Amino acid sequence: MISGQYATTLGWVERFHFLRSRWPLILLLTSLVLLAGAALRTKTTRLYEATARIELDPAPEAAAGLAGTKFRPEPPGEISRQAAELGSRALLSETAEFRSLAERWGAADEEALSGLLQTRLRVVAIPEEHALAVIARDLSKEKAAALANALAGRFVARKESEARAEANARLRRLEAEAAACQREIEGMEGRLVEIEHILENDGKESADLRQKLANQRHLLHSFEAKRQLAVLESKEAKAAARIAAPALPGRAAPVVPLGLSLPVLLLLGLAIGIAAALASHRERSRWSAVAELMEGLQAPFAGFAPLSGRSQVPVKDAPAPLLEPYRELRNRLLRLPAGGCLILTLMPYRRTDPLGEAVVNLACVLADAGRTTLVIDADFRQPTLHGFFDAARHPGLSDFLSGEMRLEETVVRSRRPNLWFMPTGPLHDDPGGLLNGRRMGDLVWELRSRFEFILIASPSIHEVSDAGLLAGLADYTAVVTPCAGHSLRQLRETKTALETVSAPLGGVILTTRVKGRKGNAMAGSGTLRRWPTRSIRHERPGATPQRQATGTGHC
């Protein structure tokens, strides 16, 4: 970050470009986090997880008194109750004692073993399938599968014991009821014997007792039948739960702690790398930044280009904090050996890097110094400069190169003294062929005799082949890239690409965004100043443009 009056804040776009320039640091820190996570995983106890599945009867049988056996629907909370019973501490303790887990896991006491059981044994209810899943973790696949099967087996065995106990209780209840019925029959039979020896017996009481005795004997036969059925059911009593899918060692999977899993480590490494990259964005003076670029690239000049988001063409008095960096660039350009005219090609490092406002503002300060300046927009695919001059895109450079118009018909006189503009014109099928033709050479020869500075806005040499042709025609080539996202390594790649077309890198211009208010107010020396937008007309002797840009500038 450049300190002083040129200090800027990093927006989202600047942060993105800055992080792109620091990707080796981010990659290094991410790799270190992954290696540290791998080392921790080797030191932690490796556990394996196995799952056993228990199915529950969706409609279990239940006794309904003397009316026999019928089916009843399962209560809504029955699955949850069964899951709670399966994961109860009593059943876990029985399983731990059966499997000798305390010695295997190195638990010091019962409390420590209970804590390990709570973390390594888990029960999951599956209501839609009327099933329970027993998930066990142990030191090996075989031990994990055996532990899951042991807990599931204990639960099923308990359910079988409960079913047998219920059947035996029913059998005992039926036997008690049959014995009571037998005692009543014996009492009735004794009473009949007594009545028969009484002479005054009228026979009515005897008839009633005989009727009741017959009913009781029928009831006794019914109890006997139910008792026989209960005996059979007690012998064949089955639990309402069974192991549907036992845990198998081959299906056991290693357990990786969430904090040491690959996605978490990767996200953590990226977060640490991004934080470290942003923390490395230190403040430097503009002089040290310029010296570093010129020394690292062996370039004749370097500088800064503040961007406010507004065209400076119609502005009479722009704030000094905005123009001073451009004036420093102008002073460096004036010291370059170029004869009577200096042709400078300005190209972005990326297509998304801002270029238009930097070119226009540099041209404005050159024109303000009394230097006749022409700005040519040669980016046929993404032209933007005509908006800053409030001019039409057509006619322009492609019209002249195709021979459809004269030079005077394609140059626009701006509202600023000593400043002219040539738009791109319509997009041609082969822009490279136009730039490589004879008329381009004639144009450069003609313009050198009319202007002192010619600034050519070019596309990136990394994306479009036209940039190499434009760089070869110029005296110097400058790369325009955001200050927050520039990388010396990437700029060296651009220098190498320019050298392949015999166009050495002349300099680097770093763009920085300055704070404004509502797009037309600029903070300077603690006050806000409104920029005037009145027109200033000026004609250069010897040049007779045929048309003029009108209106106020905009971006």
Domains and CATH numbers, the chain: 47-255 (3.30.1890), 284-524 (3.40.50.300)
What is the mean pLDDT of the segment spanning 160-186? 83
Positive or negative, the CA dihedral 11, 16, 21, 22 is positive
- What pLDDT does 161 receive? 81
What is the mean pLDDT of the segment spanning 391-409? 91
Query: What is the C-alpha to C-alpha distance for residues 299 and 302, in angstroms, rounded to an integer?
Result: 7
Do 509 and 480 form a contact (C-beta atoms < 8 A)? yes
Query: What is the C-alpha to C-alpha distance for residues 440 and 443, in angstroms, rounded to an integer?
Result: 5
Structure tokens at 9: 């804040």
Positive or negative, the CA dihedral 134, 137, 140, 143 is negative
The neighbour count for residue 77, using CB atoms within 10 Å, is 10
Residue 546 pLDDT > 50, yes or no? no
DSSP class of 75: P
Residue 321 pLDDT > 70, yes or no? yes
Positive or negative, the CA dihedral 338, 344, 345, 347 is positive
- What pLDDT does 555 receive? 26
Of 416, 432, 340, nearest to 379 by C-alpha is 432
pLDDT tier, 7 (very low <50, low <70, confident <90, very high otherwise) = very low
Rg of the chain on CA atoms, in Å: 47
What is the mean pLDDT of the segment spanning 277-295? 71
- What pLDDT does 5 receive? 44
Please provide the average confidence, as pLDDT, over all residues in the chain: 78
Residue ranges of E strands in 378-526: 412-413, 419-422, 453-457, 476-482, 505-513, 516-517, 521-524
- Segments in 66-134 forming alpha helices (H): 78-86, 89-99, 101-105, 110-120
Of 412, 424, 439, nearest to 540 by C-alpha is 412
Does the pTM surpass 0.75? The reply is no
Do 48 and 139 form a contact (C-beta atoms < 8 A)? yes
Residue 554 pLDDT > 70, yes or no? no
What is the mean pLDDT of the segment spanning 422-432? 88
Structure tokens at 510: 């770093």
- What pLDDT does 193 receive? 78
Per residue in 503-519, is it b (16+ CB within 10 Å) or e — as a string?
bebbbbbbbbbbebeee
Dihedral pair phi/psi, residue 214, rounded to 5°: -65, -40
Question: Which residues have a Cβ under 8 Å from the Cβ of 533 and sit 6 or more positions away?
Answer: 314, 315, 552, 553
Residue 423 pLDDT > 90, yes or no? yes
- What pLDDT does 294 receive? 84
